[in-house]
Amino acid sequence: MSGLAAIPSTSASTGCGDAPVLRERGQREVFCGLTGIVWLHRKIQDAFFLVVGSRTCAHLIQSAAGVMIFAEPRFATAIMDDRDLAGLADANDELDRVVTRLIERRPDIRLLFLVGSCPSEVIKLDLSRAAARLSQRFAPAVRVLSYSGSGIETTFTEGEDACLAALVPTLPAEPAEAPSALLVVGALAEVVEDQLGRLLAALGIGTVRFLPPRRATELPPVGRNTRFILAQPFLAETARLLEKRGARRIAAPFPLGAEGTTLWLRAVADAWGIDAATTRGVTAVGEQRARQAMTRARELLAGKRIFFFPDSQLEIPLARFLSRELGMELVEVGTPYLHRQLLAEELALLPAGTALSEGQHVDNQLDRARAARPDLVVCGLGLANPLEAEGITTKWSIELLFTPIQGYEQAADLAELFARPLVRRARLRV
Amino acid sequence: MQLTLWTYEGPTHVGAMRIATAMEGLHYVLHAPQGDTYADLLFTMIERRNKRPPVTYTTFQARDLGGDTAELFKIAARDAYERFRPQAMIVGSSCTAELIQDDPGGLARTLGLPVPVVPLDLPAYQRKENWAAAETFYQLVRAFAGPHAPPPGTPRPPRAAGVRASCNLLGATALGFRHRDDVQEISHLLGRLGVDINVAAPLGARPSDLARLGAADFNVVLYPEVAGTAAAWLGRIFGQPSVKAVPIGIGGTCDFVTEVAALAGIDPAPILADLPSRLPWYSRSVDSTYLTGKRVFIFGDALHAIAAARVASEELGFQVVGLGTYSREFARDVRAAAKLYEVEPLISDDYLEVEQTIAAAHPELVLGTQMERHIAKKLGVPCAVISAPVHVQDFPARYAPQMGFEGANVLYDTWVHPLMMGLEEHLLTMFREDFEFHDAAAPSHLGGGLERREEPVAPASAPIGPAPIGPAVAAPTVAAAGGAATWAPEAEKELGKIPFFVRGKARRNTERFALERGVAVITVETLYDAKAHFAR
Ligand code: SF4
Ligand code: SF4
């Protein structure tokens, strides 16, 4: 049979469930939640993201996107200036003017997000009221919602959480008598969505929907008979609001790696009462193929020591994948926030005694990384080249958000992302 | 509130970072939320620097706002001093911190740090990156050179006989477009002239070097956008004149040599007699004939845009069909330059407006920033980058200055490279139907990568293709009132033989011609009538 037997139960008493965590305060070297726009605007194809912020915010998005210039980007910034800061009534009028101009220019927009930033939060510009006002004005053609991607409230991937959380109250209500349906939550590459959808169908899950949907006009309904499962670990607020609407969360590790994908699918199967043999029948082939595809990377990575700087909140699931499926040794696993509840199943799978850190003091953490001399450091774009110049091999983490990495068929690609920097380092003679 | 898709300049604190990162021994403590740390990647990824910028961010969060963000700043500043031990520090606010009004300068003073701390006041909601870079450099120059100023009104003592003239080389920053190579090129040129460099700053300078600025005889202001304010102050306080000529292109570099020589009391003739550049000959060689009158649109920072217009016009024989800048501070200079080429100056930092203006000018080559590279790509027009903002590929591994005589070689190569070569272009025009010469064909030396798109050959109203079977519809001979003329299939086909980069214009001109004359169906005859009409 497949390697399933090797997987310990998630309720085993080993793991890091209660491990102490190093909590740090100091300079955080992490993007703010605005960054999520870079992938969300590609995901929801008829949505537009209007940041209400400063020149800094506009510059962040264009720089974080690697300055990919899209012919018609579906995001923009309303840059506030002195006049907007002078009086709030004024700022609201200005915002209405900007939005009106935008919607005239882009009649294809169905859903407009007003995205709050640090400056808009600090001057207490109420974007939810503005959204309600503008929604009324442009109904039914355009719906206007708001969320905050500000750096004083969100780090990096929390922007996606805030965006999806803003969608939850607007999801249509599922009738009480509707049959059970599954909602997969978290932005995934389309290829991943399709693969997972096929596997779930093979398991016999009747209705499978995704949040966010590909089109704003296709919002999935939600209700008491909705069971949802997270595909991304950073969606705490979205999960909370879905539960408020009666949906029940299926707890599971995240679908990274062969094991992660099987456990994720199995959690769904268990919730649907599907018997173990059927589940194995569906997962065995993919899992086996994924394990085989990872052989090369495993040879390269086994025994290598890895150090995570906090970035995307994917760190803990990735660390679990790298240690259990590829045999890497975890030196330190940093994460911007540790949601113990959502990550309970992941933490249980980590080797006992894994050094976890939450928050950041970047200079102290760099000192620890230098002292530990890991084989590979996972970090953001600001740190990668300076560390490489010091002789430390790095994997820049933003790629993990822009690459399809979930599911069986992507497991080897994910492993390759970590193997490639080491292969390169070994090849170069300069 | 301004609706913005792409920005040409970053926020003010990025301007200050460009100065701090260029210098040695200076550390910047920036009161800012965590997301603002993205700015590090401009330097580590785009410029590929191998060190983190010398910047400490306080990264305050919402929960700190009710509490003590000022204390957070003090801790960050003290820790930064302890860890990095800089010669001096600069402190300031990003846009968010400006709103919470913690006064980093005042807070830093209370710490009693044992090094000079220069507070920066860079209004984030009024100003932008380049202004702030200039202001930061000026504040640093004042702070460090100021104490060495002679009493006001003291005339500058003449240089002692037998002592070589010396100058300061001002304005190069981190993230500047080819600044590193320009400094090397101009230093070399000054050396050949026999002029010493007293201090080059900000790039490579320490705060203690700034204290020595007054010792030079004059200032070379490589980038007025950054060093103009400081040089004006040095002129007032130390009586140092500034060299005005911009050493870009052969003409610009010769003017520069002449001006420097005059200030240094040197004869420029030996240098001017034998120019170490291939541009003049390459441009006169017959293969370059095809460059004559190429329509070029130029957009960038004021310095590079104005210089590029001169090179394009005088040294490559192009036709300047558009000139613009996003640097509003230098709008006047660009307007004056635009007059020389009889074009309407474009002063704007609105990407959409720039895009529209370029499209309307129908250029055959665009010289611009990375934004214009994307505009040009969309329009299917070749492009070369001449100004910041630029992307990682514009920090080449090879030596590639824009300034000086070697810089002129670089300009020739990089501007001509994206174009078709002479004979190739003729063949393309003559044999449009050759399968290798279709519209999507890129210049043969560029491989298949260059994308060329253009408006479809067929207007939506008259799709070409297999002729409709069935009774021919009698063509109306007079256009419906106000209606546009339709294209006869042969005329459409003929239009397709016109080179793609002028085809849009030919189509519009012909349609206008037809409309004015009430011609309903454009035939091959109409096309050539219109051509003759507009050629007059
Ligand atoms: S941290 Fe705040 S000010 Fe900075 S880019 Fe993000 S939202 Fe804008
Ligand atoms: S915004 Fe306005 S935003 Fe904040 S630093 Fe700049 S110039 Fe800035």
SS (H, E, C) B74-131: HHHHHHHHHHHCCCEEEEEECHHHHHHCCCHHHHHHHHCCCCCEEECCCCCCCCCHHH
Q: For residues B532 and A170, which has the higher predicted lDDT (pLDDT)?
A: A170
Residues B176, B402: Cα–Cα separation, whole Å: 12
Q: Which of A21-30, A79-88, A133-142, B8-17 has the lowest mean pLDDT?
A: A79-88
| A224 burial level (CB within 10 Å; 0-12, 13-18, 19+) | middle
Q: Is residue A396 part of a domain?
A: yes
Displacement of CA A401 from its chain's centroid (Å): 7
Of the candidates B274, B287, B349, B350, the residue annotated as catalytic is B287
CA atoms within 13 A of residue A270's CA, in its CB half-sphere? 11
Amino acid at A187: A
Residues A260, A352: Cα–Cα separation, whole Å: 18
Task: Decide if A114 contacts A50 (C-beta within 8 A).
Answer: yes
Question: In terms of domains, do A419 and A316 share one?
Answer: yes
Rg, chain B, Cα only = 28
A79 vs B1: CB contact, 8 Å cut-off?
yes
Taking CA atoms, A142 is separated from A77, A136, A216, B215, in Å, by 18, 9, 10, 65
Residues A227, B105: Cα–Cα separation, whole Å: 54
* Residues of B whose CB is below 8 A from A119: 95-96, 99
The per-residue pLDDT for A3 is 36
Question: In terms of domains, do A247 and A323 share one?
Answer: no
DSSP conformational letter for B480: P
Task: Decide if B233 contacts B144 (C-beta within 8 A).
Answer: no
Our answer on whether the CB atom of A92 is closer than 6 Å to any ligand 1 atom is: no
- Ramachandran bin of A15, using left for φ above 0, alpha for ψ from -120 to 50, beta for the remaining angles: left
The per-residue pLDDT for A398 is 84
The alpha carbon of residue A65 is apart from the nearest alpha carbon of chain B, in Å, by 11
Question: In terms of domains, do A133 and A197 share one?
Answer: no
* Residues of B whose CB is below 8 A from A386: 44, 49-52
Residues A216, B141: Cα–Cα separation, whole Å: 54
Residues B82, A112: Cα–Cα separation, whole Å: 47
The per-residue pLDDT for B153 is 83
Question: In terms of domains, do A227 and A252 share one?
Answer: yes
Task: Decide if B246 contacts B266 (C-beta within 8 A).
Answer: no
> Average pLDDT in the B43-59 region?
96
Residues A338, A284: Cα–Cα separation, whole Å: 32
Residues A121, A115: Cα–Cα separation, whole Å: 10
Q: pLDDT of B117-150, one tens digit each?
A: 999 999 999 999 999 999 999 999 999 999 999 9
B54: which 2 tokens?
């010398």
CATH of the domain at A361: 3.40.50.1980
**Residues B318-355: b if buried by 16+ CB within 10 A, e if exposed:** bebbbbbbbbbbbbebbeebbeebebebbbbbbbeebb
Per-residue pLDDT for B275 more than 80?
yes
> Average pLDDT in the B291-305 region?
96
Q: How far apart are the first and last CA of chain B?
A: 47
Q: Nearest 5°: phi and psi at B161?
A: -60, 140
The per-residue pLDDT for B111 is 96
Q: pLDDT of A38-96, one tens digit each?
A: 899 989 989 999 999 999 999 999 888 765 556 668 999 999 998 888 776 688 999 99
Q: Is residue A190 part of a domain?
A: yes
CA A150 / ligand 1 centre spacing (Å): 5
Q: How many separate domains does chain A show?
A: 3
Question: In terms of domains, do A198 and A278 share one?
Answer: yes
Question: In terms of domains, do A313 and A271 share one?
Answer: no
Our answer on whether the CB atom of A57 is closer than 6 Å to any ligand 1 atom is: yes
Q: For residues B68 and B334, which has the higher predicted lDDT (pLDDT)?
A: B334
Question: In terms of domains, do A215 and A311 share one?
Answer: no
The alpha carbon of residue B397 is apart from the nearest alpha carbon of chain A, in Å, by 14
Q: How confident is the model at residue B478 (pLDDT cuts 50, 70, 90)?
A: very low
Question: In terms of domains, do A212 and A268 share one?
Answer: yes
Q: Nearest 5°: phi and psi at A96?
A: -60, -40
A&B contacts, CB < 8 Å:
182
Q: Is residue A81 part of a domain?
A: yes
Displacement of CA A77 from its chain's centroid (Å): 23
3-class state of residue B406 by DSSP: helix
Task: Decide if A28 contacts B72 (C-beta within 8 A).
Answer: no
The per-residue pLDDT for B439 is 53
Mean pLDDT of all residues belonging to chain A = 92
The per-residue pLDDT for B453 is 40
Last residue of a domain, one of A240, A269, A290: A290
The per-residue pLDDT for A105 is 87
Per-residue pLDDT for A348 more than 90?
yes
Taking CA atoms, A227 is separated from A164, A246, A265, A271, in Å, by 16, 9, 13, 8
The per-residue pLDDT for B445 is 57
**Residues B513-523: b if buried by 16+ CB within 10 A, e if exposed:** bbeeeebbbbb
B287 as an active site residue: the answer is: yes
Question: In terms of domains, do A316 and A410 share one?
Answer: yes
A4: which 2 tokens?
């399933």
3-class state of residue B364 by DSSP: coil
Residues A69, A65: Cα–Cα separation, whole Å: 9
Tell me what percent of the residues of chain B surpass a pLDDT of 90: 72
pTM: 0.88
> Average pLDDT in the A350-371 region?
95
Q: Considering only residues 6 to 65 of chain A, which have any Cβ-Cβ distance to chain B shorter than 8 Å?
A: 26-35, 52, 54-60, 62-64
Q: pLDDT of B435-463, one tens digit each?
A: 554 555 566 555 544 444 433 333 333 33
Q: 């009480």: which residue's tokens?
A: A176
B133 contacts: CB under 8 Å, gap ≥ 6: B15, B16, B18, B19, B173, B225, B226
Our answer on whether the CB atom of A150 is closer than 6 Å to any ligand 1 atom is: yes
- Output the ligand 2 site: residues, CB below 6 A: A 54-56; B 11-13, 94-95, 124-125, 128
The number of the ligand 1 atom at minimal distance from the alpha carbon of B33 is: 1
Contacts 24+ apart (CB under 8 A), B351-354: B351/B4, B351/B5, B351/B6, B351/B8, B352/B5, B354/B299, B354/B324
Question: Of the bound ligands, which one is closest to the alpha carbon of residue B35?
Answer: 1
The per-residue pLDDT for B420 is 66
Q: Is residue A195 part of a domain?
A: yes
B7 vs A380: CB contact, 8 Å cut-off?
no
Task: Decide if B36 contacts B14 (C-beta within 8 A).
Answer: no
Q: Hey, which bits of B362-427 come out as E strands?
A: 365-368, 383-385
Q: Is B531 on the interface with A (CB under 8 A)?
A: no
Provide the 10 A C-beta neighbour count for residue B497: 12
Give the pairing of strands A356-360 and B88-93.
Answer: unpaired
DSSP class per residue in B123-175: -TTT--HHHHHHHHHHHHHHHHHGGGPPPTTPPPPPPPTTPPPEEEEEEE-TT
Q: Is residue A246 part of a domain?
A: yes
Residues A49, B181: Cα–Cα separation, whole Å: 40
Amino acid at B367: L
The per-residue pLDDT for A69 is 58
The alpha carbon of residue A324 is apart from the nearest alpha carbon of chain B, in Å, by 32
Q: Is residue A8 part of a domain?
A: no
To test the pocket of ligand 2, the residue of B2, B9, B125 to mutate (highest count of ligand atoms within 8 Å of its CB) is B125
Q: Is residue A249 part of a domain?
A: yes
Last residue of a domain, one of A258, A290, A322: A290
Question: In terms of domains, do A309 and A271 share one?
Answer: no
Single out the residue of A38, A51, A102, A112 nearest to residue A80, CA to CA. A51
Residues B280, A273: Cα–Cα separation, whole Å: 81
Q: Is residue A213 part of a domain?
A: yes
B123 contacts: CB under 8 Å, gap ≥ 6: A82, B12, B98
Taking CA atoms, B352 is separated from B327, B336, B357, in Å, by 16, 24, 9
B4 vs A97: CB contact, 8 Å cut-off?
no
Single out the residue of B168, B119, B164, B163 nearest to residue B145, CA to CA. B168
B100 contacts: CB under 8 Å, gap ≥ 6: A122, B65, B69
Per-residue pLDDT for B246 more than 50?
yes
**Residues B358-379: b if buried by 16+ CB within 10 A, e if exposed:** beebbbbbbbbbbbbbbbbbbb
DSSP conformational letter for A15: S
Question: In terms of domains, do A133 and A191 share one?
Answer: no
* Residues of A whose CB is below 8 A from B13: 56
Per-residue pLDDT for A321 more than 50?
yes
B534 contacts: CB under 8 Å, gap ≥ 6: B509, B513
* Residues of B whose CB is below 8 A from A381: 40-41, 44-45
| Helix, strand, coil tally for chain A in percent (to 5) | 45, 15, 35
Mean pLDDT of all residues belonging to chain B = 88
Q: How confident is the model at residue B430 (pLDDT cuts 50, 70, 90)?
A: low
- Containing H/E element for B221? strand B218-221
Question: In terms of domains, do A129 and A60 share one?
Answer: yes
Last residue of a domain, one of A290, A310, A335: A290
3-class state of residue A406 by DSSP: strand
User: In which domain, by residue range, is A63 found?
Assistant: 33-154
The complex's ipTM?
Answer: 0.92
